[in-house]
Amino acid sequence: MKILYTAKILVKGGRKGSVQSEDKRLRMAVRPPVEMGGDPEDKGTNPEELFAAAYGASFRGAMESAARASHVSLRDCLLTSVVHLRETTEGGHQLGIELQVNMPGVNPAVAEKILESAHRTCPFSKALRGNAEVKLSLANSGRSRTKNPALAFRG
């Protein structure tokens, strides 16, 4: 497999530290959210927000590729990426993800095909398959699907 790009991030201090890319274009403080004992005055992000941003951007890119193949413009499309950190009964944690997509002006059947194709090809979706629940929802269509990524969109 050909490597197209490698991201390298220096992480210090975990949930109370910082992250920085090798080229220093990304530099952020990492802090626990208030819901997990963080100080509301302490500015910074958390791993779940970073993951939501990364997954959302990657998925949106996969949607663009699928839309081009269907000759559809996603110019007015808005994707909201929601990441839940859940406590498991075994004493650990697991992620739950919701990708909420609004594609105004796109036929709902075509929009659903775009979502399915994006979920099949997005590298983040592939990495999560079998490891986290991903819920895809299409705004204004009343359609929402919870997918066990191990079973999602075969073929």
Task: Tell me the β-bridge partners of 145.
Answer: 136
Count other C-beta atoms under 10 Å from residue 12's C-beta.
Answer: 10
Residues spanned by the domain of 87:
47-147
Q: Assess if residue 115 is contained within a domain.
A: yes
CATH at residue 12: 2.20.25.10
- pLDDT given at position 151: 31
| pTM for this prediction | 0.86
Q: Distance between CA 80 and CA 16 in Å, rounded?
A: 26
**How would you write the pLDDT of the chain (155 residues) with one tens digit per residue?**
999 999 999 999 999 999 999 999 999 999 999 999 999 999 999 999 999 999 999 999 999 999 999 999 999 999 999 999 999 999 899 999 999 999 999 999 999 999 999 999 999 999 999 889 999 999 865 444 444 433 333 22
59/83 same-domain check? yes
